[in-house]
C-alpha cells in the first residue's frame, strides 16, 4: 500500500504529525508547526477539516454538554469545536507550505462538504476519525474519491470495523486501520496494543496506531508489534496551551519518538538466521592440532582440540575423528579441514 509516494511495504513506518487544534487559532503557528514536523522527521502533517456547525448543533441542552472526566468537561460541543477548528481559509496556504517544505499533508473531513472542499488540494489520503467510523455515508463518500483511507477504530466495535472494511472493499479503495483508544489522554493500560497483530490478521490489511497516550513508549511498542503508521498529536510548545496540548508531543519529544521508531524499524529488520554469523565465526570454536602429528598416527584428545578461532573443522566432527589415522603430517596449530581428510572419513 502506498500513501502518496510512500510505500509501506518498502519504506517501513509512515509517521503522521497531527496538528489538530495545536495551532491555537494562529495561522503563523500552524505554518511553523508544519516546518517543525518536517524537521522532526515526520512523513506527513494531518489537519482536521470541519466547522462547528457541520459537526454539531449550537445547542445548550444537556446532551450537548461535555462531561465524563475529559479535558473539556463543562464546555458545550459547539463551543469546543469553534475553539479547535482549523479555518477553511487557511487550508490553501497550509497545503502550499507543506508542499514547499517537502512533507505530505492531508486531513480528516467530518462531513461531505469537507470532502468536496479538500478535493481541490489533491490530498494523498483521507483520514476517518475515530468518532466518524460509524458514519457510513461519510466513509463511502471518502472512499469514492479513490484515495487511500486511514481509518481510526477508537470507538468501533468489531462489527463496525467490519462494516467500514466492507465499504472500502466495495469501493475498491486501499485502506489501513489504526488501533486507537479514544481517551484524551489515554491510560497506558487501555492501549491494548496486542490488538494490532490480531487486527492485521482478522481484517487482512495494514494496521497502524493513532496514539493518545502520554510520552513516546506506546508508538515504539506499536511498531514492534507490526504498526505501519504512527499518528501522534504534535505541538510546537506545550506552553501555547489549547484543547490538545496536554496529550501532544512537543518538538523535542516528537523528534525523540521519530528516532526511536526508526531505530525500532532497523531492529526488526527481516527474518534472518545469518545475522553477522559469517564474519563473527572467527571467534567460534573449531578443531586444531594441539601437538605435532605424524602421518598414520592416531587422532586423540591430546593431539586435537576444539579451540578458538573458528577457521578449522566444525567441532561436531571431533568424536568422528578420534581414533582415525592422520592422512599426513600435522604441525602444532594446524587447522583440521575437510579438504584432504576425505580418506580419513572413508577409512
Pairing of strands 2-3, 104-109: unpaired
CB atoms within 10 A of CB 254: 25
Q: What is the CATH code for 2-50+85-268?
A: 3.20.20.70
| pLDDT (tens digit per residue) in 102-138 | 999 999 999 999 999 999 999 999 999 999 999 999 9
| pLDDT (tens digit per residue) in 7-41 | 999 999 999 999 999 999 999 999 999 999 999 99
Q: Which three cell numbers stand for residue 301?
A: 584428545
| Residue pair 147/109 in contact by the 8 Å Cβ criterion | no
Q: Domain 277-346: which topology?
A: Type Iii Antifreeze Protein Isoform Hplc 12 (3.90.1210)
- Give burial (CB, 10 Å; 0-12/13-18/19+) of 63: exposed
pTM: 0.85
- For the chain, the first-to-last Cα distance in angstroms comes to 60
Please compute, for residue 176, the number of CA atoms within 13 A of its CA located in the half-sphere on the CB side: 27
pLDDT at 344: 66
| pLDDT (tens digit per residue) in 142-172 | 999 999 999 999 999 999 999 999 999 999 9
Pairing of strands 126-128, 2-3: unpaired
Segments making up each domain of the chain, as ranges: 2-50+85-268, 277-346
* Whether the domain at 2-50+85-268 and the domain at 277-346 fall into the same CATH topology: no
Amino acid at each position: 500500500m502506498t500513501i502518496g509516494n510512500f510505500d509501506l511495504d518498502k519504506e517501513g513506518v509512515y509517521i503522521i504529525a497531527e496538528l489538530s487544534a495545536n495551532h491555537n487559532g494562529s495561522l503563523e503557528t500552524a505554518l511553523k508547526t508544519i516546518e517543525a514536523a518536517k524537521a522532526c522527521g515526520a512523513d506527513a502533517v494531518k489537519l482536521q477539516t470541519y466547522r462547528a456547525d457541520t459537526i454539531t448543533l449550537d445547542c445548550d441542552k444537556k446532551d450537548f454538554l461535555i462531561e465524563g472526566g475529559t479535558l473539556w468537561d463543562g464546555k458545550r460541543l459547539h463551543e469546543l469545536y469553534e475553539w479547535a477548528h482549523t479555518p477553511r481559509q487557511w487550508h490553501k496556504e497550509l497545503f502550499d507550505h507543506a508542499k514547499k517544505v517537502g512533507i505530505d499533508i492531508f486531513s480528516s473531513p467530518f462531513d461531505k462538504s469537507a470532502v468536496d472542499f479538500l478535493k481541490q488540494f489533491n490530498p494523498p489520503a483521507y483520514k476517518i476519525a475515530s468518532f466518524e467510523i460509524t458514519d457510513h455515508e461519510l466513509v463511502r463518500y471518502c472512499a469514492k474519491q479513490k484515495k487511500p483511507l486511514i481509518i481510526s477504530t477508537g470507538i468501533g466495535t468489531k462489527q463496525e470495523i467490519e462494516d467500514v472494511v466492507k465499504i472500502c472493499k466495495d469501493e475498491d479503495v486501499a485502506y489501513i486501520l489504526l488501533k486507537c483508544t479514544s481517551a484524551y489522554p489515554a491510560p497506558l493500560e487501555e492501549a491494548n496494543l496486542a490488538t494490532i497483530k490480531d487486527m492485521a490478521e482478522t481484517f487482512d490489511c495494514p494496521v497502524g496506531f493513532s496514539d493518545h497516550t502520554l510520552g513516546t513508549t506506546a508508538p515504539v511498542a506499536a511498531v514492534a508489534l507490526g504498526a505501519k503508521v504512527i499518528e501522534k498529536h504534535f505541538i510546537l510548545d506545550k506552553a501555547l496551551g489549547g484543547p490538545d496540548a496536554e496529550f501532544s508531543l512537543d518538538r523535542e519529544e516528537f523528534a525523540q519518538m521519530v528516532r526511536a521508531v526508526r531505530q525500532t524499524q532497523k531492529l526488526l529488520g527481516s527474518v534472518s538466521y545469518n545475522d553477522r554469523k559469517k564474519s563473527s565465526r572467527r571467534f567460534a570454536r573449531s578443531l586444531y592440532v594441539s601437538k605435532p602429528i605424524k602421518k598414520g598416527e592416531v587422532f586423540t584428545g591430546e593431539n586435537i582440540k576444539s579451540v578458538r578461532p573458528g577457521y578449522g573443522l566444525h567441532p561436531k566432527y571431533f568424536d568422528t575423528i578420534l581414533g582415525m589415522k592422520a592422512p599426513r603430517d600435522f604441525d602444532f596449530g594446524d587447522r583440521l579441514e575437510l579438504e584432504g581428510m576425505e580418506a580419513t572419513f572413508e577409512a
